[in-house]
Structure 1
Amino acid sequence: MEPMSTPIAGMPSAAFEATTYRKVGWRLIPFLLLCYVVAYLDRVNVGFAKLQMVGDLKFSETIFGLGAGIFFIGYFLFEVPSNVILHRVGARVWIARIMISWGIISGATLFVTTPSMFYVMRFLLGVAEAGFFPGIILYLTYWYPASRRGRMTALFMTAVALSGLIGGPISGWILKDLSGVRGLAGWQWMFLLEAIPSVVIGIAVLLVLDDRIRDAKWLDDEEKTLLERNIASDVAHKEDLPLRRVFSNGKVWVMSLIYFSFVIGLYGVGFWLPTIIKGTGVTDPLTIGLLTAIPYGFAVIAMVLVGRRSDLKGERRWHIAIPAFIGAAGLFLSTTWSHNTQLAMLALTFATMGIMIVLPLFWSMPTAFLGGTAAAAGIAMINSLGNLAGFVGPYLIGFLKDTTQSTNSGMFLLTAFMVLGGLLTLMVPARIVNR
């Protein structure tokens, strides 16, 4: 996004349009990005908690993997109804509700003492957060046509990488320096302190977001008319299917499988990156936190550049498939170089960049052909089915690590899924998704 400038009388329509979208971008994207940073941090900080939690509570790798992944069962069950509710009642109230409730539950995870409590809290966290991410993706379709949505989604989803860039060092510091303070372990302090921003920002959502273009008091009538006209033109090319037909639509199921393949890579890295780095010989929690920031830092830059190029070229499939293959290669090489911290970090950086690039660009595909209630239900269905990978991946990696005493077999599994996702993407007809 470029700095805003004020429209002037007689400004050419193209320049006026560009200025209007810059205005919208500066109003919405930084705030939505901040929301997602705290959301994703509360979702995956359990990966850092593992460095102390497993030892303190005597959890096996399988128990941890199941607990980390069971979040997505609650997420799966409540995703579609949550997004349909958001479409009907408006994003402002519903996103605020989601953020406040998950913040409270995430903070309460500090009271976990048994595997059963761990499973219950992770499940409830998934229920609370269900609908947030697909709700934001749906919300962006209310403001941006398909030709502009790739870069905006990429900017929004840099939050995933930023949460690692920012959250890694902070989590490492909390684990190291607050351990034992007032009788709480470092992982307990981490859950408590990292939950507070979610509640505060959730309250701010009520003040900042507008449900629709027509509700935005910060836009004048000419700007609103321009935005609404572009959205109306975009919607004319989409399918607004009845709910029952969304669930039987072949394209939606293919998109779900593609997203499943990419998400299994995302959460494999998100939940296990600190453990993989520790396996290279690094033991200090703060150092591990700082090292996890490196792959995410490069990923932020790559996401923005590739997302912008994809929009300019109007091409989606190859801009998704090539990074998916690069991510797969990085995951594979991280096992080959697992005993050399420098080489392993290089491989993990490429793996993280590839995985992070494909996620926002993926969402430019289903939103190119789904509209209205079909978009609300279809996006939620794809996201919920895809995010079952967040349950399958961590559990399988934990099981394989307990069985083989190595994370290598788990990384091979993630590699295979990233390749599968890339190949399936290339099988999608270009006419459906390229704009």
Structure 2
Amino acid sequence: MQERNTNLTIDNLSSSALACRRKVAWRLLPFLFAAYIVAYLDRANVSFANVYMSADLHFSPAVYGFGAGVFFLGYFLLEIPGALIVERWSARLWISRILVTWGLCTAIVAFVHTGVQFFSARFLLGCAEAGFFPGVMVYLTHWFTERDRARAAAAFVIAAPVSLAIGAPLSAAILHAPWPALAPWRWLFIIQGLPAVILGVFAVRRLTDHPRTADWLTGDEKRWLIEELGQESASREPGQPPAWWRSLLTRNVLLLAAAHFMANVAGYSFIFWLPANLREATRLSPVLADMAPALPFSAAVVALWLAARSSDKTGERKAHACIPMLAAALGIMLAALPNLPGGLVLGVITLTGGAVFAWIPGFWVLPTLSLSRDAAAASIGFINAVGNLGGFLGPFVTGVLRSQGYTRMASAMVIAIAYAGAATLTWLVAAPRRVEQSQAPASRTPGNL
């Protein structure tokens, strides 16, 4: 009789765990996914507007490249404070504030007339959006155990290529439609800024800061989740630096920050210059050239999700970050070879798009595996802040090279070297032992992550 009662208790616990994981995933991830779609489109829609805006305002490639990248200087300023605010105060209110202000700042870009105004508007947009990505990565540690975290991160981060895959045809439709009073590229920023404001208002009702305040979980589900997360947190505490800021000086965090810098030099050069490069390399019509970026970003959706599932299934993180980086370096070099048929270039760039995003889930699990909560939150903010300086440098350097008359191969070499450096630095990170296969969740459905 005692054995049967024990089995019943274990069965109930297992049932509560599965139900809890399912509820948390469906409660939080769809909203965060939608918010990041809007966030990524609002930072990258300038790439779709580039040709038309630059023609109207007489911007050189260097001016456009600086304006596209200066977003990340503003983003840099609030990365660490934003992550710590989520950890110590309220993710719900902070994310809501971010959404509303970045939506308004996106619309402001529609009214620029000079280079200085363009730089200022993009800088303000970066300040407004700062803290969102590291804040969400910290927020996920409040709700998902280590075994589920890469796929939870992937369910959020996959919104980036989805937003660009959707954004390409959507932006093409806006840019080629007749609009009153303002040029179509100006309407692009106004229309795509509004959803962030709407989601910001909705975030206050949808998000919950911690499991202990989640009235949509049962008592058993709350207890299971709080205990699981508490045990993981306790296992990381011994031997950790007593203050969160000291974690920023540890070898692993510095390596990850440098790797993220290099990866963003490459990745944002690829993203911000993709429409212009495709137009030049494939000689497609303006409408098709504006829609073509949907292909590599659609490939990225599939590659990112498969990489995250594989990383969680095996418990391996570093190789799942390094291999896509090296694949992206190779693909970008191949696509820049001279005299290739336009169709072949488009095919290579499509496959390369998958690699450009596939490294992200495995990479962002690494700083959460061996640090206390405050240290992990500060480290994620620091890594993303330093990395986003690469998001400024990459597009700017590409713009300068184009202004000086260099070919696409020159910028491709910069991107490839940056990806190779990012892979090398990531490989040098001392990662903890793999999560055992038996600990991985049996179910692979989205509801169970």
Q: Is the 8 A contact 2:38 2:195 kept in 1?
A: yes
Q: Which amino acid aligns with 2:229?
A: I
* Letter aligned with residue 133 of structure 2: F
Q: Which residue of 1 aligns with 2:236?
A: 238
> 2:381 corresponds to which residue?
380
Closer, same or farther: CA 338–110 of 1 in aligned 2, 3 Å: farther
Q: CA deviation at 1:404?
A: 2.7
Q: Does 1:119 align with 2:119?
A: yes
Shift of 1:259: 1.1
* 1:213 and 2:211 are equivalent in the alignment: yes
Identify the residue that residue 183 of structure 1 maps to in structure 2. Answer: 181
Distance 1:201 1:285 in 2: 32
The aligned counterpart of 2:266 is 265
Whole-Å Cα distance in 2 between the matches of residues 123 and 212 of structure 1?
32
Residue of structure 2 in register with 1:4 after alignment = none
TM-score of the superposition, structure 2-length normalised? 0.91
Partner of 1:78: 78
Q: Secondary structure at the match of 1:113?
A: coil
2 CA distance for matches of 1:306 and 1:277? Answer: 26
User: Which residue in the other structure is 1:289 paired with?
Assistant: 290
Counterpart in 2 of 1:419? Answer: 420
Whether 2:24 is the aligned partner of 1:24: answer: yes
Distance of 1:346 and 1:19 partners within structure 2? 42
Opposite residue 270 of structure 2, the aligned amino acid is: V
Q: Aligned letter for 1:123?
A: F
* Residue ranges of structure 1 left out of the alignment (5+ in a row): 1-7
The Cα shift of 1:10 comes to 7.7
Q: Which amino acid counterpart does residue 355 of structure 2 have in structure 1?
A: G
- Deviations 1:369-392, CA, capped at 9 Å, x for gaps: 223221221110100001111100
**Match of residue 328 from structure 1:** 329
Distance 2:256 2:273 in 1: 26
C-alpha distance in 2 between matches for 1:125 and 1:339: 38
- Residues 286 and 433 from structure 1, CA distance in 2 versus in 1: closer, same or farther, beyond 3 angstroms? farther
State the secondary structure of the residue aligned to 1:177. coil
Cα distance in structure 1, aligned partners of 2:324 and 2:390: 19
Offset of 1:363 from its aligned partner? 0.3
Q: Is the 8 A contact 2:323 2:423 kept in 1?
A: yes
Residues 364 and 433, structure 1, Cα contact 8 Å, conserved in 2: no
Residue aligning to 1:227 = 225
Of 289-298 and 54-63, more deviation after overlay is shown by 289-298
Give the CA deviation at 1:282.
3.5
Distance 1:426 1:157 in 2: 22
2:363 corresponds in structure 1 to: 362
Tell which structure's C-alpha radius of gyration is larger.
2
Change (3 A) 1:375 1:430: closer
Could you tell me how far 1:9 is from its partner in structure 2? 9.1
Change beyond 3 A, Cα 1:92–1:318: same
In 2 relative to 1, CA 434–363 (structure 1 residues): closer, same or farther, beyond 3 Å? farther
For the structure 1 residues 434 and 54, does the alpha-carbon distance in structure 2 shift closer, same or farther, using more than 3 Å as the test? farther
Give the whole-Å Cα distance in 1 for the aligned partners of 2:410 and 2:432: 38
Q: Distance in 2 between matches of 1:396 and 1:285?
A: 25
Q: Which amino acid aligns with 1:273?
A: L
What TM-score does the superposition give when structure 1 sets the normalisation length? 0.94
Percent of aligned pairs sharing the same letter: 36
Mean Cα displacement is larger for which, 287-296 or 354-363? 287-296
The offset of 1:170, in angstroms, is 0.4
| Structure 1 residue 368 displacement after superposition | 1.1
Q: Structure 2 regions of 5+ residues with no counterpart?
A: 1-7, 437-449
Residues of 1 paired with 2:213 and 2:419: CA distance? 41
Using a 3 Å threshold, how does the CA distance of structure 1 residues 89 and 184 change in structure 2: closer, same or farther?
same
SS at match of 2:96: helix
Question: Structure 2: how far apart are the matches of 1:225 and 1:282?
Answer: 59
Q: d(CA) in 1 for partners of 2:350 and 2:339? A: 13
Q: Structure 1: which amino acid aligns with 2:45? A: N
Note if contact 2:154-2:361 (Cα within 8 Å) is conserved in structure 1: yes
Q: Residues 210-262 of structure 1, C-alpha deviation per residue, up to 9 Å, x if partnerless?
A: 00011111100100111111111111232564133133222211110111122
How many residue pairs get aligned? The number is: 426
RMSD: 1.8
Asked whether 1:353 is paired with 2:354, we answer yes
**Alignment-mate amino acid for residue 333 of structure 1:** L
User: Contact 1:176–1:285 (CA<8 Å) still a contact in 2?
Assistant: no
**Could you list the per-position Cα deviations for residues 292-312 of structure 1 after superposition, in whole angstroms to 9, with x for gaps in the alignment?**
111111211111111111111
Question: Residue type matched to 1:244 in 2?
Answer: W
Q: Matches of 2:411 and 2:173 in 1, distance apart?
A: 28
